[in-house]
Structures are given as structure tokens and as C-alpha cells.
């Protein structure tokens, strides 16, 4: 199979885009991004993707070389008759203001640019390759990452997609040479003072002496660890829904129950508790370990104050005075809804009604969005929990094979940050998300021709 065919198969396998999603290629001018653009252009001619244009960010780091990069990409877009979006960001000035390295400032500049482009409903194709994936795994390994970190870069993260994750860097260069295509070389890629360049130039060649297929092996490890991490996260979500009690700006948890869990789940439950009260700080292994080992007293970990009263741990945000208060998005209200029945949010934000179980509708076609949905009664059960979204929440949207972060769903659906706290999340007795009200249905709860009964859920203001 040729490269375009492999990319098409990879995109279909991972649901990178749909027929109505416009895709913009982020092109720096380097070999990987030039190859990405040409492959997407070939797929667009086959009506396999809706290629909306070319995006280039001028970082103002490399002077004339950067100007020539922008001009090169502009000419390439013109040759392919594609719209060209050129943005400027003074990354050195950004780095000085933030007290950060050029590498970090550049990454934030790109993310900001991609966010702006995504507001138009577009998704951004990035040229990360299998080689980049292998380097990412190594960099995270030496920093002590767990399964989630070692799973590397995902094929799709919100509005950003990575169609080349199964293709090596040298393979792309060979493909371009065979087609007589040129590209731009960034001289900063030779600077081994930058960690990724050091891994690329010094570490990977030595690993290849141990195993000529080291790059493939590292990328394979990432593919294996990703689903493993998804499973652990799902099991932890179920336990978090069972064990965490959210009240005002505090979260309480029964540590006796947490310690009875396998350590991998217990740590994730504590991580979810920490994120619920201090969402701006990501707790590490040492933080959850400190909470697991503590028996009495008070401790502070990762921006969180933990007070222990016997087996009860109470977590709160340690910020005081002028510090940023706790994000209300992370303080979900947990309510119980029996089927049939109805509830209204204590603050009056919404009312949710459940009717049924009743005979299935004549048609199994169910709208994926809206204020009224029909779900399979057997899958849903009779006792539901209604809450706000929590850190780590994942849902399997209708029609998709894999699960997706609920935060990414909100980004894709363009739900403003200050409105996400008001979106009710309907969860079954097993902790699975059945409906993100008004937005997405969970695939396991869809109505099919085999459904014997259904439940109708209606959201009213």
C-alpha cells in the first residue's frame, strides 16, 4: 500500500476526520509537514478528506531563514491552489515575558494559533511521525512517566490530528525525494542542547545498535500502553464516582476503601480528588503516594490541603487570599434520578426528566445531540446519577469505537468554559457516561433494532 493509502487507513481506523470536517495542514516547511500536505492533497483529490488550506506560524526566531520558510510554504500552497493562513508570534518576546525557554514558548505559541484556527470549526493536521513518537516515549520515560505518559501522542487530541504516527521520518524523506519535492531545513534541529534533538541525534542511533527496529519498538510500546491506560482510567472513573464526595469547595474520600483497591486504581482515584479541588495543578506519583501513606494529621501536596480524620480524608484547595479560587467547573453536583422520575438542579440551572421504560420507537434512528434523547433501557438501568463533568471523564460518543475525553468533547462542541459546569452528565450505575445532556450520547446506550424497551430523557431549562 502506498503512503496515501496507509494514511487513509490510519485515519479511518482512528476516526481522524469526518466528511464534513474541514482539515487544515500545519506546515512548517520541513520534510515531515511538506509530506503531510502532499499526502492530504492526494487524498483530497480522491475525495477522502476535505482539505481546507495550509497554516504556517512565523516564530520570529531565525530571522531571514524564517522569512524564507514562510515564503516557501506560501508558494507550495499556491501551487496546490490551497488557501494559505500565515500568522506571526514573537516567540523570543513571549519567552522573556514568561521566563521560559524558546522551545516551551514556541509550543505555547503554536497551541494558541491552533486554538484560533479551530474556532472556525476546522481541525489541524500535525506532522508528528513514528520517529517523533519514539522520541516522545523516551523523553517521558526518563522523566518517570506512567502508562498514560508512555502511551505517547494520541492520533487525535480534540481538534488536532496526527495522520503520520505510523510512518517513519526517513520513509517520508525518501518519498519526497522520489517525487522530486524539496523542503526546508531548520538549523535549530541540530542543537543537541535541546532535549529532543539530543535524543534524536545521540540516543536513537545508539539504541539502533541494540535493536535496528528500536524506533518501531518504542512506537509499538506506546500503542500497547494507550489502551491499557484507557482501561485503568475507566475503572478509576467508576471508583471515583463511587468513592468521591464533592461538597462546596471540598472533596472527601474514604481512605479505607481507597487502600482496598489495587494500587493503580487507588492512585488514580486520589489524583481525580486532587484535580477536583486544584485543577490548575497536576498531582504526581509522589503526591498520591504521600496521601496513601498518611494516617493522621494534615499535609499539603500539589496545591491541595489534605486533612485526615481516621479513614476519612478531606481535600481542599490550599490557595488563600488573592490566589485564584477553585474553578467551579470542577465542583459537580451529584444527584440521583430514578427511572421514571425527574429532578431539578438545586441552583435551578436545569430540569431532567426520565420517562419509561416503554416500548421502542418504530425507528432506531436517534439524534446524537439535542435536549431529548432515547436510550436503550436495558443498558441504562433504573438508577442514574446526574453530576457535572469531572477531571478524567471519558465518553464513547455515538458511532465511535474509542473513548474521548469529555473536555475534548466540550472543545469540539465549542461549549464556553464558564458554561461547562452547568452541563448535566448522566451516569449509569456502573459509572459509564450515558448522555452529556444536549451534546453527545454514549455509544453503549444507543437504541438498536434489538432494543426491547427504551427510556426517554428530556433536558429543560
Report, at the CATH architecture level, how domain 244-328 is classified.
2-Layer Sandwich (3.30)
Q: What is the 3-state secondary structure (H, E, C) of 129-157?
A: CHHHHHHHHHHHHHCCCCHHHHCCCCCEE
pLDDT value, residue 322 = 29
The mean per-residue pLDDT over the stretch 78-95 comes to 94
Confidence of residue 416 (pLDDT cuts 50, 70, 90): low
pLDDT value, residue 326 = 36
Distance from chain centroid for Cα 202: 31
The mean per-residue pLDDT over the stretch 172-199 comes to 92
Is the per-residue pLDDT at 332 higher than 50?
A: no
Distance from chain centroid for Cα 102: 24
The mean per-residue pLDDT over the stretch 182-187 comes to 91
The mean per-residue pLDDT over the stretch 420-449 comes to 88
pLDDT value, residue 284 = 85
For residue range 363-412, list pLDDT tens digits in order.
444 444 468 899 999 999 999 999 888 777 899 988 887 888 888 888 88
If phi > 0 it is left, if psi is from -120 to 50 it is alpha, else beta; for residue 251 that is: beta
The mean per-residue pLDDT over the stretch 259-270 comes to 94
> Mean pLDDT in the chain?
87
Q: Distance between CA atoms of 371 and 177, rounded to whole angstroms?
A: 53
Candidate CATH numbers 3.40.50.2000, 3.50.40.10, 3.30.565.10, 3.40.50.300; the one for domain 332-460? 3.50.40.10
pLDDT value, residue 307 = 87
pLDDT value, residue 370 = 63
Confidence of residue 300 (pLDDT cuts 50, 70, 90): confident
More confident: 263 or 370: 263
> Which CA distances in Å does 342 have to 234, 385, 427, 434?
28, 12, 15, 16
Q: Distance between CA atoms of 451 and 61, rounded to whole angstroms?
A: 60
Cβ contact 27:183 at 8 Å: no
CA proximity to 6, closest of 154, 123, 161, 172? 172
pLDDT value, residue 245 = 84
The mean per-residue pLDDT over the stretch 112-127 comes to 89
Least confident of 112-121, 417-426, 429-438: 417-426
Cβ contact 423:389 at 8 Å: yes
Cβ contact 378:452 at 8 Å: yes
Q: Distance between CA atoms of 198 and 14, rounded to whole angstroms?
A: 31
Largest distance between two CA atoms of the chain: 71
For residue range 276-294, list pLDDT tens digits in order.
888 777 788 888 999 998 8
More confident: 114 or 80: 80
Least confident of 95-99, 271-275, 306-310, 328-332: 328-332
- Common-topology check for domains 3-222 and 332-460: no
Pairing of strands 341-344, 297-301: unpaired
Q: Distance between CA atoms of 127 and 149, rounded to whole angstroms?
A: 20
More confident: 301 or 249: 301
Radius of gyration of the chain (CA): 24
Residue 14: helix, strand or coil by DSSP?
A: helix
Question: Which alpha helices (DSSP H) does 182-295 contain, by range?
Answer: 195-198, 204-210, 214-243, 255-260, 263-277, 285-293
- Quote the crossing angle between the two packed helices 169-179 and 3-14, to the nearest 10°: 140
More confident: 409 or 419: 409
The mean per-residue pLDDT over the stretch 314-339 comes to 59
Cβ contact 97:106 at 8 Å: no
| Residues ≥6 apart with Cβ < 8 Å to 112 | 89
* Domain parsing of the chain, residue ranges: 3-222, 244-328, 332-460
Is the per-residue pLDDT at 117 higher than 60?
A: yes
The mean per-residue pLDDT over the stretch 67-71 comes to 95
If phi > 0 it is left, if psi is from -120 to 50 it is alpha, else beta; for residue 341 that is: left
pLDDT value, residue 34 = 97
Cβ contact 308:296 at 8 Å: yes
**C-alpha cell, 304:** 491541595
With residue 74 as reference, give the H or E element that holds it.
helix 64-79
The mean per-residue pLDDT over the stretch 295-307 comes to 84
Is the per-residue pLDDT at 441 higher than 60?
A: yes
- CATH number 3.40.50.620 is the correct assignment for the domain at 3-222: yes
Read off the pTM.
Answer: 0.68
More confident: 81 or 387: 81
Distance from chain centroid for Cα 111: 13
CA proximity to 37, closest of 159, 153, 136, 184? 184
Amino acid at each position: 500500500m502506498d503512503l496515501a493509502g496507509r494514511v487513509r487507513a490510519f485515519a479511518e481506523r482512528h476516526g481522524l476526520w469526518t466528511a464534513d470536517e474541514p482539515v487544515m495542514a500545519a506546515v512548517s516547511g520541513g520534510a515531515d509537514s511538506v509530506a503531510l500536505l502532499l499526502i492530504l492533497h492526494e487524498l483530497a483529490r480522491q475525495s477522502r478528506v476535505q482539505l481546507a488550506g495550509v497554516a504556517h506560524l512565523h516564530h520570529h526566531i531565525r530571522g531571514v531563514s524564517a522569512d524564507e520558510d514562510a515564503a516557501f510554504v506560501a508558494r507550495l500552497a499556491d501551487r496546490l491552489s490551497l488557501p494559505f493562513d500565515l500568522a506571526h508570534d514573537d516567540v523570543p518576546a513571549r519567552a522573556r515575558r514568561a521566563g521560559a525557554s524558546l522551545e516551551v514558548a514556541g509550543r505555547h505559541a503554536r497551541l494558541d494559533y491552533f486554538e484560533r484556527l479551530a474556532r472556525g470549526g476546522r481541525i489541524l493536521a500535525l506532522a508528528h511521525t513514528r520517529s517523533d513518537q519514539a522520541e516522545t516515549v523516551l523523553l517521558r520515560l526518563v522523566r518517570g512517566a506512567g502508562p498514560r505518559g508512555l502511551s505517547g501522542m494520541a492520533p487525535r487530541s480534540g481538534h488536532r490530528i496526527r495522520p503520520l504516527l505510523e510512518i517513519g521520518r526517513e520513509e517520508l524523506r525518501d518519498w519526497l525525494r522520489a517525487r522530486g519535492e524539496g523542503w526546508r531545513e531548520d538549523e535549530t534541529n541540530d542543537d543537541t542542547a535541546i532535549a529532543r534533538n539530543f535524543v534524536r541525534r545521540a540516543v536513537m542511533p545508539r539504541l539502533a545498535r541494540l535493536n535496528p527496529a528500536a524506533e518501531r519498538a518504542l512506537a509499538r510500546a506506546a500503542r500497547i500502553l494507550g489502551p491499557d491506560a484507557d482501561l485503568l482510567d475507566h475503572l478509576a472513573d467508576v471508583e471515583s464516582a463511587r468513592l468521591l464526595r464533592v461538597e462546596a469547595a471540598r472533596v472527601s474520600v474514604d481512605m479505607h476503601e481507597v487502600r482496598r483497591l489495587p494500587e493503580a486504581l487507588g492512585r488514580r482515584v486520589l489524583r481525580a480528588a486532587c484535580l477536583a479541588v486544584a485543577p490548575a495543578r497536576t498531582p504526581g506519583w509522589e503526591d498520591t503516594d504521600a496521601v496513601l501513606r498518611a494516617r493522621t494529621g494534615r499535609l499539603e501536596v500539589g496545591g491541595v490541603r489534605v486533612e485526615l480524620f481516621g479513614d476519612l480524608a478531606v481535600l481542599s484547595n490550599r490557595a488563600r487570599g488573592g490566589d485564584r479560587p477553585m474553578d467551579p467547573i470542577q465542583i459537580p453536583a451529584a444527584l440521583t434520578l430514578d427511572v421514571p422520575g425527574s429532578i431539578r438542579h438545586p441552583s435551578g440551572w436545569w430540569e431532567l426528566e426520565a420517562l419509561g421504560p416503554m416500548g421502542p420507537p418504530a425507528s432506531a434512528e436517534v439524534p446524537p445531540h439535542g435536549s431529548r434523547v432515547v436510550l436503550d433501557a436495558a443498558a441504562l438501568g433504573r438508577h442514574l446519577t446526574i453530576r457535572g463533568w469531572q477531571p478524567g471523564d471519558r465518553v464513547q460518543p455515538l458511532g465511535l469505537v474509542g473513548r474521548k475525553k469529555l473536555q475534548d468533547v466540550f472543545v469540539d462542541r465549542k461549549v464556553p468554559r464558564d458554561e461547562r459546569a452547568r452541563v448535566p452528565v448522566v451516569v449509569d450505575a456502573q459509572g459509564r457516561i450515558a448522555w452529556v445532556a444536549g451534546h453527545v450520547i454514549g455509544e453503549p446506550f444507543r437504541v438498536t433494532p434489538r432494543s426491547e424497551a427504551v427510556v426517554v430523557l428530556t433536558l429543560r431549562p
